[in-house]
Structure 1
Amino acid sequence: MRLNPFRALRPDPAVAHQVAAVPYDVVTRAEAFELARGNPRSFLHVGRADIDLPEAIDPYDPRVYSKARDALTRLIAEGTLQRDHVPGLYLYRQTMDGRSQTGIVGCVHIDDYERDIIRKHEKTRPDKEDDRTRHVLTLAANAEPVFLTYRDGAVTDALSAPVLSTAPLYDFTAPDGVRHTVWLVPNPAAWVDAFRKIPVAYVADGHHRSASAWRAGTQLRAGRSDATGTSDSDAESDWFLAVLFPASQLCILPYN
């Protein structure tokens, strides 16, 4: 499968703990509102922009997506989010209750999704797909990664070890007790090459996000084809954000 470095928009390390937010779809509007209360840097203002509009407004109203775009623009303008100068990959570790899992953050390709190289195990709801597709297209960005897993081996373990011995870019514990640690990968080409030898990955979480990224990417590709008469398959919008965790590190928890 294909893995690609990308120029991330990422937080100033001094305020990363204020930006970090739970996934958009694990909280209600009321819960998201409370989590972001008094914190204009919270990424929930982007992922759940309905919290910044009157409660009576439908969460799929066009004003919600415009508000999300405004919030992202504001976070960039004020320096809370900063664009990397060169494309990169990151190692991302989550630690909870004494257990850790460390994945590689990069971009994966919509063609791999379509060809079932990225494999799914859930059906999706059209309304939720429509929502995140509009979100991606309005922001021209993937606001959250898809959680993928793959069958790991000695090569990826060997690539990870020296990176994890260096100082991280970010290391903080969120209010829910989960510790988040992120390292910049110094040799992204080696990871790209290693993933060429990995035949498939699986969507562990994010079926709606991945379906929406595919829909947005194919829609933008069709627009390029109409405009130029060609349908290139390596535009930035053909890739979507993912974090790929090794299967050997995962633990299935009860959903209750």
Structure 2
Amino acid sequence: MAEIIPFKAVRPSADKVALVTTRPYDEYSAAELASWLDFNPFSFLHIVNFAYINQEKIDPIRRYQMVATKYSDFKRDGILLQDEKPAMFLYQIKTKKNNFIGILAGTSLQDYQNNVIKKHENTLQYRVENLKDYFNETRFNTEPVLMMYPDCEELQHWMTKKMLDTPLYDFSTTNRERHVVWKIDTEEELNFLKDTFDKFPNLYIADGHHRSATSDLLLKENGERASDNMNYFMSYLICETKIQINEYNRLIHDLNGMESDEFLHILKKDFTVEKVHEYWKPHKKYSFGMYLDGIFYSLTLKNIPDSDNVIEHLDAQILYETILHPLLNIKDLRTDSRITYIPGNKNIVELVNKIDNGEYKVGFILYPSSIEEIKTLADNNLTMPPKSTYIEPKLRNGLIIYEFQ
């Protein structure tokens, strides 16, 4: 039974919301970042920038304290406002290709610890520790965990009806997205949502495993000093049939000392290899696209694994076990400097250009994993290989902020 709660959010004043909210910090190029910081004094980037600048010169704790100070300045100046009454939020994101609708609420760390909230990725302890220090000093989080719930017709009907109300926010962004937010704060509405989610046996983390693990560590380390808010973490709850799962495509610097003809010959042991038309992407499991020496190839696995282990059926794992590790000597998918990744929502031309200009030798295009694969892994306490999925939606920073104090 999944528990969700309303919370007293901090959020931008209505007249500045389009100016305050941002994409995740690491999505900005250096030039974009400099431009936003120079010309938009209301951007949330002015707050989080302190967490990243002069990383070698300033102690991390000091940088995080600077974030907290700038955050307080935004609240003092009325750019960010604290809600007086706990609420949840209905949040719609309309992109060029998708229309996402979900609920922002607090989710329970007790559910997380008891595996009511299921996970499918491992976390890196150093990242969890660093983020925990950040949370400890700043006392806020503005990036919700992306959480999936099962298809529910009654909940979908309620959301459709709620969207007829006047929204709290309705704004567009420079990357041509529209963001609409409705506040949910009546006792009747909140009780309906709480009761609805209480009927779900499980929720599944789609994206945000490090944030949820960090919230858990923060609660444990604060112990009896923990505030009530530390027992929960902010999540964006979306129907499992509505999220967009993209693949991560692979780029490799070299062929591990092999010539292209030799590499193609060896591939034919495990794959049916065929030349195909330009910009080809696989259309089913157990098949891969490959771009090498200006030519696209389709690679179709000859022998599908007969194991019941879902990991052995993941295309990302198959690629690793048949090509990346044994042939190209890529051992650690997280740390090997010879491999890099491009999310599947990017145009395949980007992969082609990086190979054509000599930056990389070969690229592999994967078929996206399914919701069923993710849930099966989570249900069996298994984890996906690194960089298996790029999941959307990606939410705006600085829109709805959850404070731990």
Instruction: Name the TM-score, length of structure 2 as normaliser.
Output: 0.57
Q: Match of 2:382? A: none
CA-to-aligned-CA distance 1:173-201 (integer Å, 9 cap, x gap): 11222211101124212111111011111
Structure 2 residue aligned with 1:197:
199
Deviation string 1:15-55 (CA, Å, 9 cap, x unpaired) is: 0011111124545777544443332322223334235x446
Matched-pair contact (CA < 8 Å) for 1:159–1:191: no
Comparing both chains, which one has the higher relative contact order based on Cα–Cα distances under 8 Å and sequence gaps of 6 or more? 1
Query: What's 2:162 paired with?
Result: 163
1:212 is aligned, of 205, 211, 214, to 214
Cα 1:150–1:42 shift into 2, 3 Å: same
Query: Given that residues 61 and 134 in structure 2 are in contact (C-alpha distance below 8 angstroms), is that contact kept between their aligned partners in structure 1?
Result: no
Evaluate the alpha carbon distance shift between residue 245 and residue 32 of structure 1 in structure 2; reply closer, same or farther with a 3 A threshold. farther
Q: For the Cα contact (< 8 Å) 1:171–1:182, is it kept in 2?
A: yes
Structure 1: give runs of 5+ residues left out of the alignment.
226-233
Contact 2:61 2:137 in 1 (8 A): no
Report the equivalent of 2:328.
none
CA distance in 2, matches of 1:236, 1:55: 30
Aligned to 1:57: 57
For 2:46 and 2:81, the matched residues in 1 are separated by 17
Coordinate RMSD, CA, aligned: 2.2
Q: 1:151 to 1:76 in 2, by over 3 A?
A: same
Pick the structure with more helix per residue: 1
Following the alignment from structure 1 to structure 2, what is the Cα–Cα distance between the partners of residues 115 and 248?
A: 25
Does the alignment pair 1:132 with 2:131? Answer: yes
How many Å separate the matches in 2 of 1:104 and 1:27?
26
SS at match of 2:162: helix
Matched residue count: 245
Query: Which residue matches 2:94?
Result: 95
- Flag the 1:57–1:98 CA change in 2: closer, same or farther, 3 A: same
**Equivalent-residue separation in structure 1 for 2:31 and 2:216 (angstroms):** 30
Q: Is the CA contact (8 Å cut-off) linking 1:142 and 1:213 kept in structure 2?
A: no
Distance 2:205 2:110 in 1: 15
Q: Which amino acid aligns with 2:182?
A: W
Cα distance in 2 for residues equivalent to 1:178 and 1:67 = 31
Per-residue deviation at 1:223?
Answer: 3.5
CA distance in 2 between counterparts of 1:10 and 1:196 reads 27
Cross-structure match for 2:24: 23
Render the CA deviation track for 1:56-96: whole Å, top value 9, x for unaligned: 536x7222101110111011100111111110010001111
**What CA distance in whole angstroms lies between the structure 2 residues aligned with 1:201 and 1:177?**
30
Aligned to 1:245: 238
Could you tell me whether the CA contact under 8 Å between 1:146 and 1:206 is conserved in 2? yes
Q: Do the aligned residues in 1 keep the contact of 2:47 with 2:70 (CA within 8 Å)?
A: yes
Find the residue that maps to 1:73 and give its secondary structure: helix
Counterpart CA distance in 1 for 2:37 and 2:115 is: 37
* Unaligned stretches of 5+ residues in structure 2: 248-342, 345-405
Given that residues 104 and 243 in structure 1 are in contact (C-alpha distance below 8 angstroms), is that contact kept between their aligned partners in structure 2? yes
Q: Percent of aligned positions with the same letter in both sequences?
A: 27
Q: Contact (CA 8 Å) 1:47, 1:143: kept in 2 or not?
A: no
- Return closer, same or farther for 1:194/1:223 CA change in 2, 3 Å cut-off: same
* Contact 1:136–1:143 under 8 Å retained in 2: no
Q: In structure 2, what is the Cα distance between the partners aligned to 1:132 and 1:161?
A: 36
**Take 1:54 and 1:5, find their aligned partners in 2: how far apart are those partners?**
37
Question: Which residue matches 1:230?
Answer: none
**Larger gyration radius, structure 1 or structure 2:** 2
Give the C-alpha shift of residue 12 in structure 1: 0.4
Q: Look up the match of 1:231.
A: none
